[in-house]
Amino acid sequence: MPACILDSTALDELGTPEWRRALLEAGYDLVVPTVVLAERHTGRPQDHQLRTALRATRRTPLDEARAYAAGALRHKVAPTRRRAPSAVDAVVVAVADHVARRDDVLVLTSDVADFEALRTQAANSRRIAVRRP
């Protein structure tokens, strides 16, 4: 089953009926690295929509191996960019790279440039696609 990994902006799209329907049809395993919640969760009542969206996803905690991989990706990309990609973005791509060992992976994000730069450094980059929702 191909996986679709969502960053914080893509999580907002999962709140829309059109994206929910399209993702259901496409048959993706929806994955949210839990580090994304550090960007998106506010602890306010307005998080209701976020919690609803999250229930339709599988959340993957950040383990030590992925943290190391994210750091390495970020370090490789930093010299090629005006500013280094965020640690959260690097973790998302590290998780995508890990999943891509056995499945195709689509990363949905509004920050395509940073994610593309990170993807090109991933070991399984050819099994990862980055798209803007």
Partner 1 sequence: MSKGRITVTIDQALLDRARSLGVNLSAACERGIAEVTETVGARAELARQVADYEDNGGVYDDEKLARARHVLADAQAALAVERKAG
Nearer CB in complex with partner 1: 59/81: 59
123 binds partner 1 (CB under 8 A): no
- Does residue number 37 form part of the binding site for partner 1 (CB under 8 A)? no
Instruction: Fill in the amino acid letter for 101.
Output: R
What backbone torsions phi and psi does residue 58 show, to the nearest 5 degrees? -100, 130
Please identify which residue in 39, 48, 49, 58 interacts with partner 1, judged by CB under 8 A: 58
Residue of 5, 11, 30, 94 that binds partner 1 (CB under 8 A): 30
CA distance 2 to 104: 5
Rule CB under 8 A: say whether 106 interacts with partner 1.
yes
- Using the contact rule CB under 8 A, the part of the chain among 18-26, 36-44, 66-74, 77-85 near partner 1 is 18-26
Sign, CA dihedral 109-115-116-121, equals negative
